[in-house]
Amino acid sequence: MGPMETPTRRQKPLVECVPNFSEGRDPRAVEKIAAAMAGVAGATLLSCEMGEDAHRSVMTLIGSPEAVCEAAFRGITTAGEVIDMRRHRGAHPRLGAADVCPLVPLRDVSMPECVAMACELGRRVGEEAGIPVYLYREAATRPAYRYLANVRRGQYEGLPERLRREDGLPDFGPAIFNAGSGASIIGARDILIALNVSLSTADPAIARDIARKLRESGEAIRENGRTLVYREGCYPAGMDGFLGGDFRATRAHCREKLGFDPAELLLMRGKDPNKPEGEAVFRPGKFPGLRAIGWYLPHYRQAQISMNIENYRLAPPHLILEKVRELAGARGVAVVGSELIGLAPRDWFLEAGAYYGKLQGISEVLPEQGLIGLVIAAMGLDQVAPFDAEKKILRVND
């Protein structure tokens, strides 16, 4: 280092963890879980949100890799003590008390390092707490488990039968049904934005229909009132007139001409791409990396589209909401408002603010708070539940 050079200050590694717990109605139980995680030095609990209808709480913590993993372990084991899955009924799909626990690299941590952390956390939960653990997303040990819905398939109620099957064995922990805690799903992924959009209808069928149009996995194609399926020697692309004599030819055509891979659509639904015969032909939805379901929430008396946006740069939440508004309007329904579950990155808020500023013809340069205010108003982020922007923005380098 020369005399005029100054050492570069390296920031400390930072990891995010967003554990989801199957308890949204008992504040005391949720507080015990939150306290267990918040008590770890080096980990900061940023948010804790309870959902009564979903019967679920989502917490967000950040910190050093070691501290976050220890906090997650304590949260998972505490959840196993204070939640009894035998009594759990809610709108949200779930596999266990500590349902899903993703680790997210934020700063100076690689995805492979987060995968290693997820595996070590899974091993501890399995061995020390006796809870079956399945790995998902970047940590998945089987292709279908890259998609969370496949890991949850059959839910808690299907666990006893699943654990008896060779293809249902957990990655860590005993292959024994733990009636109280169920199983946990642990993995590594990139930053995800969770957005729920409420509609001016109580009909969940409308929400489900819109969700199918939006999500990457799409919807089954119907012709003459019947669902189109793949058959031996007959593999239609479904979106044009192409008919492949084998699935490989259809995959090549769809990837080159239509921009999607039908094998990946099969995998998203837990189907074997090597055995497509008899499976429905699907067309993809509009947004890549979007997972979406529709449901009815009695507490609000509204249908809602619940979405996980796995790549907010490819599928910006504000553009998704505007598409929901368009599709809902075509069905005579309005968007009442939206909910941001957990935190969202600062750069997305600023991008969305610039979008709505341009849409509204605002020519002056707005400060950060002005841009964020535009997003809140345009997306109705404060219409379904109270919204505190400072508690919702993920600031990695602050």
> By the 8 A CB rule, do 359 and 365 touch?
no
- Residues with active-site annotation: 92
Low-confidence ranges of the chain (pLDDT < 50): 1-8
> By the 8 A CB rule, do 92 and 55 touch?
yes
Q: How many helices (H) and strands (E) does the chain have?
A: 11, 19
DSSP state of 44: E
| The dihedral sign for the CA sequence 104, 110, 112, 116 | negative
Residues 6+ apart with CB under 8 A from 59: 18, 19, 20, 21, 33, 34, 37, 45, 47, 48, 49, 75
Angle at 95 between CA 90 and CA 97, to 5 degrees: 75
Number of residues that this document lists for the chain:
398
Question: Which residues on neighbouring strands pair with residue 43, listed in sequence order?
Answer: 63
Structure tokens at 314: 């490819």
Burial 99-111 (b: 16+ CB within 10 A, else e): bbbbbbbbeebeb
Question: What is the pLDDT, as a whole number, of residue 3?
Answer: 44
**Max intra-chain CA distance, the chain:** 79
Question: What is the pLDDT, as a whole number, of residue 1?
Answer: 46
CA dihedral angle for residue 264, residue 267, residue 269, residue 274, rounded to 10 degrees:
110
- Cβ of 313: how many Cβ atoms within 10 Å? 13
CA dihedral angle for residue 299, residue 211, residue 144, residue 90, rounded to 10 degrees:
10
> By the 8 A CB rule, do 322 and 197 touch?
no
> By the 8 A CB rule, do 255 and 307 touch?
no
Question: What is the pLDDT, as a whole number, of residue 2?
Answer: 46
Structure tokens at 44: 């900061």
> By the 8 A CB rule, do 12 and 64 touch?
yes
Using CB atoms within 10 Å of the CB of residue 330, give its burial: 0 to 12 exposed, 13 to 18 middle, 19+ buried.
exposed
Structure tokens at 145: 């488990």
Which domains, ranges and CATH numbers included, belong to the chain? 14-188 (3.30.990.10), 193-217+287-394 (3.30.70.670), 222-283 (no CATH)
Amino acid 370 reads: G
Question: What is the pLDDT, as a whole number, of residue 182?
Answer: 98
**Gap between the terminal Cα atoms of the chain:** 28
Q: Which of 210, 14, 228, 26 is nearest to 110 (CA)?
A: 14
- Outline where the chain has alpha helix (H): 27-38, 65-82, 111-129, 148-152, 159-162, 204-214, 247-253, 262-268, 317-330, 346-359, 368-379
pLDDT digits (tens, 9 = 90+) for 260-318: 999 999 999 999 999 999 999 999 999 999 999 999 999 889 999 999 999 999 999 99
**Cα separations (Å) of 255 from 122, 147, 243, 268, 284?**
36, 20, 14, 16, 12
Angle at 348 between CA 345 and CA 349, to 5 degrees: 90
Q: Which of 331, 289, 103, 342 is nearest to 201 (CA)?
A: 331
Interatomic CA distance for residues 333 and 319, integer angstroms: 18
Interatomic CA distance for residues 134 and 220, integer angstroms: 28
Question: What is the pLDDT, as a whole number, of residue 398?
Answer: 62
pLDDT digits (tens, 9 = 90+) for 33-65: 999 999 999 999 999 999 999 999 999 999 999
